Amino acid sequence: MVLGIASASRFYFKRGFGHSSVIRSSFCSLRSSSDMKEVSSDKGSSGSALAGGDSPALPPVKVGASLRSPSSVVQSTPEIEKKYVHRVYDAIAPHFSSTRFAKWPKVSAFLNSLAAGSLVLDAGCGNGKYLGLNPNCYFIGCDISAPLIKICADRGHEVLVADAVNLPYRTGYGDAAISIAVLHHLSTERRRRKAVDELIRVVKKGGFVLITVWAREQEDGALLNKWTPLTQKYLEEWVGPGSPRVRSPSSPLTLESIPEAEENGSREQLKEFTDKYTDLRSLQLRHLHMNSQAADLSLASLTKKGCEDQQEFFVPWHLPYHRAEVSGASANAVASGLAKKDDKKGAVVYNRYYHVFSEGELEKLVSGIGNAVVVDRFFDKSNWCIILEKIS
C-alpha cells in the first residue's frame, strides 16, 4: 500500500502502547529528546533488541521549530495522489485487504533473517500482512489509509496513520524497515527519493531497509494492455500543480512539465503549459495529414515507442457490486466521477496511479545517498527490489 500526508485520524496501540492520537500536521515526527529512554539488548548488539521481552514504547511526540529537521519539510501531496491513491484505497480497503494474504517468499526471508528482538518499521503496511511475521521481532506499521490501519489495529497490530515522505519516528529508531509496493504510488522523483531518505533515516547504523516497487518489465506483458497510459487522461482530468512529468505517446517531443518546485504553481503557469501542449499537438497533426501514408507509419512508430517508454499508468481495481462497501464511499465515488460502474463485470471500477520502475531506476534513485549502500538487488514477481544497509 501507500503513504501520503497524514490526515486527521486515530491510531491504537494495543499490547502496552497505550492510546494516542495522530498529530494533524505534515511536519509531525518523533525525535530524540533527553527524556526518551533507550532500550538496549542484553546481547550487546547494535540493534534495539528488547531485554526481557517487553514491548517497545514510542518516544513522546514533540512538535516545534527546534525539533524540525530538513528531512521533515515536505510540500503538500499532489492532487493525483490524493485522488487516485488515497481516496481509492480508503474506498476499497476491506476488499483490498481480503485479497492480500500471501507473503512474498523473499520478503519473508528478509524478515526472518533479522536478529531476535529487532524492531521493524513497515512503511505502507496496508492490511498488515507482514506485521508479526517473525515472532522474534517487534513490528510497528504505518499507512496513509485510515481504513486499512483500522483493519490492522483490529487484528492487534501496533499501527498508525502516517506519511511515507515524513515518517513519524525519531532518527535511528528501528533496526530494519520495509517498504513493500509503496514508492510506485508517489508521483514525482523527488517524493520517491524523499521516501527513501526517510526509510534510511529511521533505522540505526547497521540497520537494513528492503524496498520493492512494480517493474515496467512485467513477467506477464499482457497486463500492460489492461492499464491506461496516464497521458491519455492528463489534459482531460488532472493537469495541475504537482502532476508528474508526462510524455505524449504519439509525439517524439518531450513536453515540458510543471517543475516539482512549483507544485503550488499559479493558474497562469498551468494555462501556459496547457496552451503549449495544444499547439504542439496541432502542429504535429497538420504535419501528419500532409501525407496520409507517411502519417500512418509515423504515428504507428511513435505510438509504439511511446508505449515502450511509458511509466505512468492508471491500474484498475474492480470492486464487486456485492461488496458491502459499494453502498458507502463507492456510491459517492461513482456520483463524483472518481469511479465508474461496469455492469458487464458487475463491479465499480477505480483507477489507481502507478509509476512503474524501469530496470536500474531504483538503484539510480538511491545513488548518491552517502549514509547507505546497496547490499542486494533482485527481480521478484514483476518487482524490482533492493536491500540497503545504513553505514553511518
* Distance in angstroms (rounded) separating the CA atoms of residues 228 and 180: 23
pLDDT value at position 231?
A: 65
Residue 231 is assigned to a structural domain of this protein? no
Q: How many domains does the chain have?
A: 1
Residue 86 is assigned to a structural domain of this protein? yes
Average pLDDT estimate for 314-340: 92
Residue 189 phi/psi, 5-degree rounding, is -60, -35
Lowest mean pLDDT among 55-64, 211-220, 252-261, 326-335: 252-261
pLDDT > 70: what percent of the chain?
61
- Is residue 362 over pLDDT 80? yes
Band (377; pLDDT cuts 50, 70, 90): very high
pLDDT > 90: what percent of the chain?
53
Band (29; pLDDT cuts 50, 70, 90): very low
Residue-averaged pLDDT of the chain: 73
Average pLDDT estimate for 74-91: 90
Band (111; pLDDT cuts 50, 70, 90): very high
58-67, 124-133, 282-291, 329-338, range with greatest mean pLDDT: 124-133
Average pLDDT estimate for 87-96: 96
Specify which residues 386 forms β-bridges with.
211, 377
Is-contact 33 50, C-beta < 8 A?
no
- Is residue 25 over pLDDT 70? no
35-44, 229-238, 314-323, range with greatest mean pLDDT: 314-323
Residue 210 is assigned to a structural domain of this protein? yes
Residue 300 is assigned to a structural domain of this protein? no
Higher pLDDT, 82 or 327: 82
Is-contact 324 94, C-beta < 8 A?
yes
- Is residue 65 over pLDDT 50? no
Query: How many other C-beta atoms are found inside a 10 Å radius of the C-beta of residue 52?
Result: 6
Band (327; pLDDT cuts 50, 70, 90): confident
Specify which residues 348 forms β-bridges with.
319, 341
- Is residue 143 over pLDDT 50? yes
Shortest CA distance to 163 belongs to which of 138, 189, 144, 141?
A: 144
Band (308; pLDDT cuts 50, 70, 90): low
Shortest CA distance to 374 belongs to which of 365, 387, 383, 364?
A: 387
* Distance in angstroms (rounded) separating the CA atoms of residues 111 and 209: 10
Q: ∠ CA 373-379-385 to the nearest 5 degrees?
A: 40
Residue 251 is assigned to a structural domain of this protein? no
Residue 371 is assigned to a structural domain of this protein? yes
pLDDT value at position 303?
A: 39
pLDDT value at position 275?
A: 52
Q: Which three three-digit cell numbers place residue 266?
A: 499559479
Residue 166 is assigned to a structural domain of this protein? yes
Q: For residue 214, give its domain range.
A: 79-220+357-390
Rama region for 91: left / alpha / beta (φ>0; ψ in -120 to 50; rest): alpha
CATH number at residue 378: 3.40.50.150
Residue 320 is assigned to a structural domain of this protein? no
